[in-house]
Amino acid sequence: MHKRTHESFVYYMNNVMRKKIFLCLFFSTCLFAFVHGQTDSENNLKFDEEKDTVIHLEEHVVVGRHIRKTSLLKLPVALSEMPLTMSVVEGRVLSDLNITDLLNINKTTTGIRVMNNYGGFHMFRTRGLNGVVLLSNGIRDERSEFYSCAPTSSFVGVNRIEVLKGPSSAMIGHSAIGGIINIIYNQPSATASMDARLAFGSWNTYTAQLGASGSLSSKVNFRIDYTGIQSDGWRKNDKKSHNIYLALDFRPNIRNKFSFSAIAYDNRVHTDPGIPRFFNDIYDESGKKIYSIGDIPEGVDLKKTNLTYVDDHLNDKHLSTTNIWEHTFSDQWKLRNIFGLSYNTLSYLQSEEFSHLTSKTSGRYKHYYLNGKEKRYISIDSIIREPFHFDYDNYYIGNQIEIQGSLDTWGINHLVSFGHDFSYMYLQRWQGSNFSGPATTTAMSIYHPIANPGYLEAKFTNRVNVKEYYHSLSLFDQVALNKRWSVMLALRYNLFRRKVKNNKTNHRTVTEEGMEYILPDNALTYKFGLIYEFAANNRIYASVSNSFRPIRTIGDKSYIYVDNKGNIIEPGSTGKIYAPERGMQYEIGLHSKINDVFLLELSAFHIRKTNIVQKLGKNTEGKSVIGQVGTVNSDGFETEVTYSPVTYLSLRGGYAFTTSRVGEYSSTSISKSEMKGNYLPYSPVHTAFGWIFFNNNSIKHLFRLGIGFDYSSKSYADLANEMWFNPAFVGNIMVSYRYNKNWTLQLNIDNIFDKRYAKAAENTIQWLPEPGRNITLSAIFHL
């Protein structure tokens, strides 16, 4: 835990931050001198930036424009030749729109929702579904699968973001039912370059981004990037983030190439539990309803009302490395081995829930709600904090080896890849805290919260140890039947095993060893697609794919479990309760390109997800009830368009129509079958974005103006569809001036109309307001 005082914060801003900015400027000057010295002495390779987007369909990091080192799919095939839907956000766009993390990716792509929850944890949805695999520098972040969300860091050295939509286990392995978010980083280059960005914005937000690339020798190239962000926060949820990316490549000879990259970050966030809403209709003494379920008490300032305890925090540290060896056997065949390691340590404390003061008798409180037919009297403006605390350490090791090449059979060309993946993940989590101290018992006004009501002592009661082993064998084949028709086939056999042990502790001392449970799951996953080129650079496709997601639920006496018939389940000796979730997608689509002026991506899909597990509520004894109770259907279509009719004008926009609803649903005593047809949480039916850019097409004095918006329709915070988020139309503007290709001054105004809205809620009750109007002024240098 850490203490914050106003005096120390002011000292930090006035002294420490000045030093950091000075050091950033000093570092920029040094890099400039180094790069300038290299520029005239090197024979640099030039890349053709106008080529079609080509992706090595390999294992993890998808990279565009050129064939890069690692990627998501397996074959060197243009994206426009693949039977899939992928949204791509280039690094230049991230810079133009001041997108510094995944939370704002909806500014420029459709079909994806990224939401901030629990103070700094991010939840992901694609095509209305969870089960989204996050990849960063080739490393899977399994934490979001453990607890449905995980913190992510600010961007550092990011080249592009790619979002593959729909079930994709054949591409990447288990759990990719909703899709894949892939963060791709800048690669080393012999071409000397240097970038720097210093920015200041609303809520005392300071940003420094620095990067440089060049050659250390004729055989070794490097890339280094740094991003630092410090902010008071929109709702006083201050943040400090430091991120470093380093990459090297080494070519000892023409047949071998070795690549090394590493990412490290240290993030510290003062968390935000949100604004509590009423979980029942509220009545006054006369019986008049004054609040409906989901309402916020009148008079609450959505910006200034912060209910955080002084020591609430999310501290997240990360270190990972990706190491690649590529060996070329011939012009047609090569071998690639990718070895990755990562380590995360995290500490979390937050006032995660709030309880209104209640009484079974009238007199003390003037309002009530109905608990069945019984009146329960409530103080509508006084609450007590209910904290939640855990720490964990997470280790990951993985290796992928593959052979890919080209062969002809009976006059038909095949681009093929064979591979084996292995990963091991270990998590140690301290949880189940016993709390004591005045911070847990002090009632406070929701209008005048007390940040520091006294000390809080927390002692852990459990230590959970989790080990996960994963193997898979994969086959990819892209078949060119003739000049018009081609077929893609991807197969992957997955073997997954999870070991879990829950030990009782007295804080960090184990007092009783628990039983180790083993959960095995195996599955064959596939993707099959047919592509037809009806005109040059214009193709239609149809595909079918499936996915599986291991259920990580282990029997716990503090929970009640029900099956898909509503019957209570007693956990077996293995601890396994539920079958894996399954996903199946049918998709048709269009890739269209006309003379580099008009680009169109269009797709329609049907996804059926079975064996869903939901938290259904609490029984009469207050125990949480979890059930594997039915299916989910997600249907819709998406489109993204880029249109550049003249050099001084370009437009980009997208729209997604998605209906993600509960299908068959088994009735239980807690959750009735009326859930059938309800919308899934955090899944709006309509989402859209649009941008129009104007520029004067000058090389020496380039002026740009961008006007954009993003929109989402009404969505829900719970499966019962009782808590909802209103539609939100958010306007954004960017203006920039670039001098001589090297210097840029840029202004970004986000949420220009100061819209008050939310797209996430903590525990379905606590409304998390999105940032209001904010301004960022950036100075950018490129060489």
**C-alpha–C-alpha distance, residues 17 and 522, integer Å:** 52
Which residues are within 8 A (CB) of 488 and not within 5 positions of it... i.e. 6 or more apart?
Answer: 82, 83, 476, 477, 478, 479, 527, 528, 529, 531, 543
From the DSSP assignment, how many helices (H) and strands (E) are in the chain?
A: 5, 45
Q: Kind of pairing, strands 715-716 and 649-665?
A: unpaired
Q: Where are the alpha helices (DSSP H) in 619-763?
A: none
DSSP helix/strand/coil, 371 = strand
| Alpha-helical segments (H) within 642-759 | none
Whether the CA torsion 134, 137, 143, 149 is positive or negative: it is: negative
The number of C-alpha atoms within 13 Å of 385 and in the hemisphere containing its C-beta is 33
Cα 459 to chain center, whole Å?
31
Q: Give pLDDT, residue 698.
A: 87
Helix (H) or strand (E) holding 474, with range, is strand 462-480
| Main-chain phi, psi angles of 375, to 5 degrees | -80, 130
Contacts of 490 (CB under 8 A, 6+ apart): 73, 74, 170, 171, 474, 475, 476, 477, 526, 527, 528, 545
CA distance 299 to 281: 18
Please report the pLDDT score of residue 37 as a whole number: 42
Separation CA 501–CA 518 (nearest Å): 9
The 3-state secondary structure of 202-223 reads CCCEEEEEEEEEEECCCCEEEE
- The residue type found at 472 is S
Note the pTM of the prediction, 2 decimals.
Answer: 0.87
Q: Distance (Å, rounded) from C-alpha 554 to C-alpha 462?
A: 15
* Ranges of the chain whose pLDDT falls below 70: 1-71, 73-74, 564-566, 571-575, 617, 620, 622, 629, 665-674
662 CB contacts (<8 Å, ≥6 apart)? 630, 631, 632, 675, 676, 677, 678, 680, 719
Instruction: Give the pLDDT confidence score for residue 147 in this predicted structure.
Output: 78
Q: How far apart are CA 744 and CA 197, in angstroms?
A: 9
- Residue 366, phi then psi, degrees to nearest 5: -100, 5
Residue pLDDT, tens place only, 219-262: 999 999 999 999 999 998 999 999 999 999 999 999 999 999 99
- Which residue's entry shows tokens 């139309």? 729
Report the distance separating Cα 149 and Cα 142, nearest Å.
Answer: 10
Superfamily of domain 6-419+431-782: TonB-dependent receptor, beta-barrel domain (2.40.170.20)
Q: pLDDT for 694-715, tens place per residue?
A: 999 888 999 999 999 999 999 9
Confidence (pLDDT) at 411: 85
Look at residues 235, 232, 275, 270 and name the one whose alpha carbon lies nearest to residue 447: 275
